[in-house]
Amino acid sequence: MPALGGYVTVAYVAIPEDKLPGVAECGSNPNPPTGDITLADVQAMFGSRIANPSLVQTGLPSLNQAMRDAQVNTPYRKAAFLATLVHESRLEYNIREIGDTRLYGGRGYIQLTGDFNYRPAGQWLGVDLIGNPELARDIRYSAQIARWYWTVARNINPYADQLKMGRVNAAIGYPAGAEDGRRCATFQTAIAYLTGQPAPAVNCSRTGKLAEDTSRLTRAQFDAIAG
């Protein structure tokens, strides 16, 4: 969930770690499973937004696993998910939103924000994110938190299937504005790359309550206004 007002410049602070349980070592799998997203893929799709390639590469095994778990497995779904995360975090798993000193400020791939998200995300993971919010940008949890938000806190895959990027943006929570157009353009670029075809028309519109800050809504409340 981004800071209000759209895309912001963010800074990362690396979290030193040795080999962690369940996390592949960088370079340990030179031939990723078919269908997995590679560093070359995201660089081709997002260009200079990939500001720290080595850090992005380190996180890709966990991110690809989260995408498989979340059924982000079609070009449209991958394009929506990755376009969202590259605007949120530059695909850097351990980013902390620059200048955000709030205890539950933006962290990780999807910039988890607010105790109203840290608490249920931690409960779902079985991790105390309220007591240890920095875990939200730990490589063991960052991608799975993005999965949680995409499929549990919200149900975003169907909007990607329908090319409703406006609803994807609304589901992320920030108010409508110029950032919507930027994310829709990134979505179309990613679709064109992943399909090898010109991107189809995308619905970027957000009207009524969908144009407002929806970050505090429950999934049921969001679904009710999204239709």
Looking at residue 18, its pLDDT comes to 42
| Structural domain range at position 167 | 11-15+35-226
3 assigned to some structural domain: no
For residue 190, give the H/E element and its range.
helix 178-195
Looking at residue 33, its pLDDT comes to 53
Q: Give this prediction's pTM.
A: 0.86
Looking at residue 98, its pLDDT comes to 85
Looking at residue 99, its pLDDT comes to 87
CB atoms within 10 A of CB 15: 14
For residue 11, give the H/E element and its range.
strand 11-12
CB environment 70-87: b (16+ within 10 A), e (fewer) = bebeebbbbbbbbbbbbb
Looking at residue 48, its pLDDT comes to 97
5 assigned to some structural domain: no
Looking at residue 86, its pLDDT comes to 98
24 assigned to some structural domain: no
Contact between 126 and 162 under an 8 Å Cβ cutoff? The reply is: no
The CATH number that applies at residue 170 is: 1.10.530.10
The span from the CA of 174 to the CA of 53, in Å, is 27
User: Could you list the pLDDT tens digit for every one of the 227 residues in the chain?
Assistant: 654 444 343 433 444 444 443 444 444 444 445 589 999 999 999 999 999 999 999 999 999 999 999 999 999 999 999 999 999 999 999 999 988 899 999 999 999 999 999 999 999 999 999 999 999 999 999 999 999 999 999 999 999 999 999 999 999 999 999 999 999 999 999 999 999 999 999 999 999 999 999 999 999 999 999 98
220 assigned to some structural domain: yes
25 assigned to some structural domain: no
pLDDT tens profile 161-216: 999 999 999 999 999 999 999 999 999 999 999 999 999 999 999 999 999 999 99
127 assigned to some structural domain: yes
- Structurally, how many domains does the chain consist of? 1
44 assigned to some structural domain: yes
Q: HEC profile for 18-50?
A: CCCCCCCCCCCCCCCCCCCCCHHHHHHHHHHHC
151 assigned to some structural domain: yes
Looking at residue 34, its pLDDT comes to 59
